[in-house]
Structure 1
Amino acid sequence: MKPRDIIKEKSSMWIFGYGSLVWKPDFAYKKSKVGYIKGYKRRFWHGDDFYRGDKEKPGRVVTLVEDQEACTWGVAYEVTDCQIEESLQYLNMREVVLGGYITQMVEFIPKEKGQGSLLALVYIATSNNPIYLGPASDKEIAAQIAICSGNTGHNIEYLIRLADFMRISCPEVEDEHLFSIEAALLNIFSDCGGIKLLDPKPILLGAT
Structure 2
Amino acid sequence: MKPQDIVAGKSSLWIFGYGSLVWKPDFKYKRSKVGYIKGYKRRFWHGDNFHRGDDEMPGRVVTLIEEDDVCTWGVAFEVTGSQMEESLKYLNVREAVRGGYLTRAVDFFPRGTNQPPVQALVYIATPDNPIYLGPASTEEIASQIAVCKGNSGHNIEYLLRLAEFMRVSCPDVDDPHLFSIEAALLATIRPILLAA
Fold conserved (TM > 0.5)?
Answer: yes
Within-5 A mapping of 1:41-52: 41-52=41-52
Distance 1:6 1:30 in 2: 18
Counterpart of 1:124? 124
Give how far 1:192 is off: 2.8
Moved over 6 A (4+): none
| TM superposition score normalised by structure 2 | 0.98
- Name the counterpart of 2:104: 104
Distance 2:103 2:135 in 1: 22
What corresponds to 1:83 in structure 2?
83
Which residue pairs with 1:74 in the alignment?
74
Deviates more, 1:111-120 or 1:181-190: 111-120
Q: Which residue of 2 aligns with 1:61?
A: 61
Which has the larger share of helix?
A: 2
Instruction: Give the TM-score normalised by the residue count of structure 1.
Output: 0.92
Q: Number of residues paired by the alignment?
A: 196
What percent of counterpart residues are identical?
Answer: 69
Specify every segment of 5 or more residues in structure 2 that has no aligned partner in the other structure, as ranges. Answer: none
Equivalent residue number for residue 177 of structure 2: 177
> Which structure ranks higher in relative contact order (CA pairs < 8 Å, sequence separation ≥ 6)?
2
Deviation at 1:49, TM superposition (A): 0.2
Whole-Å Cα distance in 2 between the matches of residues 191 and 11 of structure 1?
A: 53
Residue number in structure 2 paired with 1:149:
149
Deviation string, structure 1 residues 164-192 (Cα, Å, up to 9, x no partner): 00000000001000000000000002223
1:189 aligns with 2:189: yes
Query: SS of the counterpart of 2:87?
Result: helix
Q: Distance in 2 between matches of 1:57 and 1:70?
A: 31
Q: Give the RMSD, CA atoms, in angstroms.
A: 0.9
Q: Deviations over 1:20-62 (max 9, x none)?
A: 0000000000000000000000000000000000000000000
Q: Which residue does the alignment assign to 1:203?
A: none
Question: Structure 1: which 5+ runs fail to align?
Answer: 195-205
Superposition pairs of residues 25-40 of structure 1, within 5 angstroms: 25-40=25-40
